[in-house]
Structure 1
Amino acid sequence: MLELFLIVAGVHFLALLSPGPDFFLIVRTALLHGWRRASGICAGVALANGLFIALAWAGLSSVQPGRMLYTALQWGGCGYLAWLGMRLVRSPGTPVTVQAPRAADALAPGWPQALRMGLINALLNPKNALSYASLFTLLASSPGYLQAICGVWTVCAVLGWDLLVAAAAGHPVVMRRFARHVGRLERATGAVLLALAAGMAINALR
């Protein structure tokens, strides 16, 4: 059980290191309006991730190993992870542009508006739904308490990482250093995802 939790937590954290739409929305808001406003975006993104996890958990709770739907989910998740891993391995690195901070203006979103922006942005990103459905396929035959622990952990990890990104966005030096290593992080994440897809395929064949 501990090994399975570490696999899920590790793969999820590596995926967090690869910039996506949520990352750039958080960075832009933090640079333009400060990390407190960006924390609303972070909370909205975490809430959306929690909803995706709950849907994945609810869907997989009725799937039992050995059934056709379970096998289809296994191979579907395997294929998605392999596709995403190959894309990341071949990626030259998503460009991260760091702009000079600007004073917040009258049009700056309030915290509730920022929360709504983060929630909508994450919900409209299909990668979130697909990645959680694939990741939680690994937990389909595990005890309910382990699935709950992994769900809570991933939501907390998303919120913690996004808040850290928002705080760091106020320091351009930190963001420039991060930007120099984006390519390596994406390729490392891709390699891990490919290895996980291979493991899922071997398990499905058995």
Structure 2
Amino acid sequence: MEQFVAVAVAHFLALLIPGVDFFLIARTAMASGWRAATGACLGIATANGLFIVAAFSGLSLISHPTVLAVIQLAGGAFLVSIGIAFIRSKARFDPDQAPQAAQATWVRNVGLGIASGLLNPKNALFYVSLAAALAGAEPVTLIAYGGWMFTIVLGWDVFVAIALGSTRALTRLACIAHRLTTAAGAFLVLFGLGMVATASVQLLS
């Protein structure tokens, strides 16, 4: 029980630290509403789930320096492109958009969330480190931990989406929503450039 509490607290504290996933959800929620943002939430949780399964199964390829650098490079380039698209976007939330368009946006956001989660090496390294700390745990215990973490990631991300993308929140943030979404895009660009720079140094060294 003590081990579960320690794992749960460590995992949740990591979620509380704003990062790429947070800003992606925040921008999506403010630009398209919380329902559309749940697509990104599901994609991010899915990517986390894949890392959890890989780490708890003993697949630590991500820990290889060259592989990690390549993922960082690809992830950085992805974040820069997404961030620039966010900054240049003039999209405004339209609650009356057609169902077909809303569904297409949701599906697209699922893919965006998966790509963002998989191309962020910090997610993978966190779960690899956690798996090392849980070495020797029974398979049933690892399955329980994995299921719990997937659920918490999805639940927290949906909470953030609703908090920032509900009609009430969007009404209150209307006057600064564009600046906030632009700031989110700028963060992604800066974070992506940092990843590209770090990966380039590692590959060239």
TM-score (norm 2): 0.61
Pick aligned residue for 1:102 from 92, 102, 111:
92
* 8 Å CA contact retained: 1:41, 1:119: yes
Q: Say whether residues 1:121 and 2:120 are aligned partners.
A: no
Q: Say whether residues 1:142 and 2:132 are aligned partners.
A: no
1:21-67 Cα deviation digits (max 9, x unpaired): 1110100000010001000000000000000000001117xx9xxxx
More helix by share: 2
Secondary structure of 2:113's counterpart equals helix
Deviation at 1:113, TM superposition (A): 0.7
Mapped partners of 1:143, 1:34: distance in 2: 41
Mapped partners of 2:43, 2:93: distance in 1: 23
Mapped partners of 2:153, 2:122: distance in 1: 15
Q: Say whether residues 1:29 and 2:28 are aligned partners.
A: yes
Q: Pick which of 124-133 and 134-143 moved more.
A: 134-143
Correspondence for 1:111: 106
Mapped partners of 2:42, 2:124: distance in 1: 17
Any gaps of 5 or more consecutive residues in structure 1?
64-72, 74-100, 175-206
Mapped partners of 1:34, 1:51: distance in 2: 27
Mapped partners of 1:38, 1:29: distance in 2: 5
Correspondence for 1:10: 9
Q: Which structure 1 residue ranges, 4+ long, deviate > 3 Å from structure 2? A: 104-109
Correspondence for 1:195: none
Mapped partners of 1:150, 1:103: distance in 2: 37
Mapped partners of 1:103, 1:58: distance in 2: 42
Deviation at 1:102, TM superposition (A): 3.2
Deviation at 1:135, TM superposition (A): 1.1
Secondary structure of 2:57's counterpart equals helix
Correspondence for 1:156: 151
Aligned amino acid, residue 139 of structure 2: G
Q: Percent identity?
A: 49
Mapped partners of 2:131, 2:141: distance in 1: 11
Mapped partners of 2:116, 2:137: distance in 1: 31
Deviation at 1:139, TM superposition (A): 1.2
Mapped partners of 2:148, 2:123: distance in 1: 16
Matches within 5 A, 1:175-194: none
Mapped partners of 1:135, 1:111: distance in 2: 31
Mapped partners of 1:9, 1:165: distance in 2: 19
Matches within 5 A, 1:38-117: 38-59=37-58, 102-104=92-94, 110-117=105-112
* 8 Å CA contact retained: 1:23, 1:162: yes
Any gaps of 5 or more consecutive residues in structure 2?
64-90, 174-205
Aligned amino acid, residue 113 of structure 1: R
Aligned length: 136
TM-score (norm 1): 0.60
* 8 Å CA contact retained: 1:37, 1:114: yes
Deviation at 1:155, TM superposition (A): 0.3
